[in-house]
Amino acid sequence: MSAKDKKKKAEKVDKNQKKEEVVEEFEEFVGNGKFVYPNNAVYIGQYRQLKTGVKIKEGKGKLLQPGSEIIVEKGKENKDSNNSKMLIGCEYYDGEWKDDKMDGYGIYLYSNGDKYEGYWTNGCQNGKGKYTFTDGTSYEGEWKMHKMHGTGTFSCLDKYSNFTGEFRDGKFISKNQPELKEEKRLVRIYELLNSVPKAFYKTWEESCATDPKVLNEVLVTFFSTQENMGKYFCNVQFPVFDDYKLKYWMDSIKWVFEEEHEKAGGKKGKEEEETPIEKLKVHIPKSSEDTIVLEKGCLQAAQLQNELDNGQAIELIATVKDRVVKLVLGYNLDLAKWLIVYFDDNKAPPKEVKKKK
């Protein structure tokens, strides 16, 4: 191949590469419309156009999957019967969509006559819903990824054969209902208690914005005393607000809850990757013997009895580099408030020396 031909070939390849690099970008927007798909399915409702130009179902809309007409031949035993037509595969959904999948509340009619009314996630029955079968039986309750999962009732035509209780992976577990109910109760309590630290810090932050003249009086109410929490915690040295300056309390509580990269003292990058950082650890004791911050046996109140009850404890440990702060929150039902029961900072300054009057 001559040098001239090689040059022409290289120019041709370069042009093709440039053509491939050009990708048309569309404007993203939402709208309402009607779409007919290659299989003759019809969608009417809200949609979102992506930057690629593709339109996906998002929002509220209806989808009709057309059925196929088949000929049902007359039976050999009944020669007098005529051939008949039957529509199969026709299905219909009316409800909410997200990312081109059923997501949210919706009603689905199946080709066999079954019907589901309830919630969906990522195209699957998920959450609370009712499924009615063509024979009249039904299940109403909780679902998880297309299966009966959670508390529900399976109703039969014979009302004396109904099943109410806990279902797992599509099956009614009859032998250990008490254990399943207790497991579910604990899951709900754990979900609530795990949200407490974030809510506590939000309330603390809001209180820190109080008028400086009364700030001390406001923040001291976040701390436990022998009078308000002594009967729920034994052998615990409650932190004394006056032991440290106001600024220390404001800075240290903030340090416990702020983002880890902020604690390390810089923006995320290569240097920070080498910094030993442990995320804030939250531990919810199951009993007085299940503590990791407080000594065993310190908790006088039963744990995990109710979502919010006197003496319920939450232990937190925040670690960055060589600083470790341990914080324990306890709930006081009379005050309807979470209080600081225990606080230990291995980098705390010397305690304030109170001057004698």
- Model confidence at 268: pLDDT above 50: no
> Going by C-beta distance under 8 Å and a sequence separation of 6 or more, which residues neighbour residue 329?
196, 197, 200, 313, 314, 316, 338, 339, 340, 341
Final residue of a structural domain among 116, 147, 163: 163
- 29 and 119 belong to one structural domain: yes
The tens digit of pLDDT for each residue in 48-81 reads 999 888 899 999 999 998 876 556 555 554 455 5
- 259 and 333 belong to one structural domain: yes
Judge whether 206 lies within some domain: yes
- 237 and 334 belong to one structural domain: yes
Judge whether 191 lies within some domain: no
| CATH code for position 145 | 2.20.110
Print the domain residue range for 285. Answer: 197-345
d(CA 318, CA 282): 9
- 119 and 210 belong to one structural domain: no
Judge whether 188 lies within some domain: no
Judge whether 350 lies within some domain: no
Judge whether 239 lies within some domain: yes
The tens digit of pLDDT for each residue in 297-306 reads 999 999 998 7
- Model confidence at 120: pLDDT above 90: yes
pLDDT range class, residue 90, cuts 50, 70, 90: confident
pLDDT computed for residue 26 by the predictor: 78
Judge whether 101 lies within some domain: yes
Q: Are strands 138-144 and 147-155 parallel, antiparallel or unpaired?
A: antiparallel
Q: How many domains does the chain have?
A: 2
- 275 and 224 belong to one structural domain: yes
Final residue of a structural domain among 145, 163, 181: 163
pLDDT computed for residue 167 by the predictor: 86
pLDDT computed for residue 70 by the predictor: 59
d(CA 120, CA 104): 5
Which residue reads 């308000």 in tokens?
Answer: 228
d(CA 301, CA 305): 9
d(CA 311, CA 329): 9
- 262 and 217 belong to one structural domain: yes
Among 22-26, 141-145, 212-216, 232-236, the minimum mean pLDDT is found in 22-26
> What average pLDDT does this structure show over 219-236?
94
